[in-house]
Structure 1
Amino acid sequence: MNIPQLQIQTTHGILGLQIDKPIQEIEQPIATLTQEQPAAILEMSTVRPQLSLDTTEVRADVDLKSPLRRSAENAQYGHQSVLEGIARRAQEGQQLVRIENGGNPIADIAKQNGTPPPKQMDIRFVGDRTKIQMAFQPGSLTINATPQKAINNVQINKPIHNYTQGKVTGVMEQYPSIQIDWKL
């Protein structure tokens, strides 16, 4: 016996996707940097050292005397010579007063005055360095350095961002179908 048969034939639908990928571009520009370093402030102050030398006595030893000192020494030498002359004349007068004691005082006085005593020859070093009077005041140096802070100017640049959105489109690659058939 033949039984009627129902035949169903189906075809699946196939859905395809068309994808346009998104495009993203990011660029980061470098930061703008300005740097400056001001020079330090430098202050210097000095006190000069002082050296004073008094060579008055050494100069006097080599006969380089000031006019005031030379005139004072000449006045003292003249005063001393006058006193010595007075003493010599008084002594000669005393010798002449005692003429009765004998001898020849006039010849003795003439002999003393006519032949001076011989000069002594000796070596004398002039300019004694130990007579130099020195005074020294040391100087000083003061340095003040004031550093200056660095000047940093930084400008941050924003990133450049370009974005193209992606797209997904559905496409039917195969449409679904159903076929129904009767077979006897």
Structure 2
Amino acid sequence: MLQPILQIRQTPAVIGIDADLGAFSITQPKADVTITTTPGELSVQSSRPELTIDQTRARAAYNGGSVLDMNKRIYSGIQQLYLQAIARRMEQGTRMAEFFKPGNTIAEVYGTDTEPNSFPDPCGTASYDNVDIHFVTSAPEVRFKAAQVDIQVERHRPEIEYTRGKLDIYMQQYASIQFIPPEVNVQL
């Protein structure tokens, strides 16, 4: 004998979820860099060389030089000539004292003295080295100041933006239960 069966049909609930991810946007402006340069300085100071030419002795040899120098030479020369003349007179006097010797007669002693007394030379001595040349140089003064570089950096923070995603939760299918009773025959 068949037994009646109760049928139960069940439909599960289905939840639908629609989700989009959020989005990050990160931007960072470039840093501002300021560079300031102070140029280096180089200064060089040099003095002109000094050339000194002393022609005093050359002029003295050519034309006697200055009047004061010429007078000094004449004066010192006259003193020398005077001393030489005294020495010559002394020698002549000594020879005259010995007049009994042959060759010491008055004519021989004083007769041969016909040379005039020379005047001292007013000019200086001539020489190839009468011009003095002095050349003086000095080292240049060099001053150097190094260049300076100043670097300033201004940083900017990153700019972060977040765009939220969407989240939709909905019922795609509702749960249900269905009871189906068995067929009952009433034929009895």
Instruction: Note the C-alpha offset of 1:41.
Output: 6.5
Report sequence identity in percent.
Answer: 23
Where is the helix percentage greater, Structure 1 or Structure 2? 1
Q: Does 1:63 align with 2:61?
A: yes
* Residues 1:95 and 1:142: Cα distance change in structure 2 (over 3 Å): closer
Q: Give me the whole-angstrom Cα distance separating, in 2, the residues matched to 1:142 and 1:84.
A: 60
Q: Does 1:167 align with 2:166?
A: yes
TM-score, normalised on structure 1? 0.63
Question: How big is each residue's C-alpha offset from its partner over 1:122-166, in whole Å with a ceiling of 9 and x where there is no partner?
Answer: xxx93469xx7x8x8x96777665657642221111222222111
Q: Does 1:23 align with 2:38?
A: no
Q: Does 1:84 align with 2:52?
A: no
**Count, aligned residues:** 173
Instruction: Note the C-alpha offset of 1:168.
Output: 0.9
Superposed, which structure 2 residues align to 1:28-177 within 5 Å? 28-40=28-40, 59=57, 63=61, 67=66, 68-92=68-92, 95=95, 104-113=105-114, 126-127=127-128, 150-177=149-176
Q: Give me the whole-angstrom Cα distance separating, in 2, the residues matched to 1:10 and 1:143.
A: 105
* Residues 1:153 and 1:101: Cα distance change in structure 2 (over 3 Å): closer
Q: Give me the whole-angstrom Cα distance separating, in 1, the residues matched to 2:70 and 2:147.
A: 64
Aligned to 1:122: none
Instruction: Note the C-alpha offset of 1:5.
Output: 1.6
TM-score, normalised on structure 2? 0.62
Q: Give me the whole-angstrom Cα distance separating, in 2, the residues matched to 1:36 and 1:44.
A: 26
Q: Give me the whole-angstrom Cα distance separating, in 1, the residues matched to 2:35 and 2:11.
A: 74
Q: Give me the whole-angstrom Cα distance separating, in 1, the residues matched to 2:9 and 2:101.
A: 196
Letter in 1 for 2:177: I
Identify the structure with bigger relative contact order (alpha carbons < 8 Å, sequence gap 6+).
Answer: 1
RMSD: 4.7
Where is the strand percentage greater, Structure 1 or Structure 2? 1
Aligned to 1:11: 11
Letter in 1 for 2:110: I
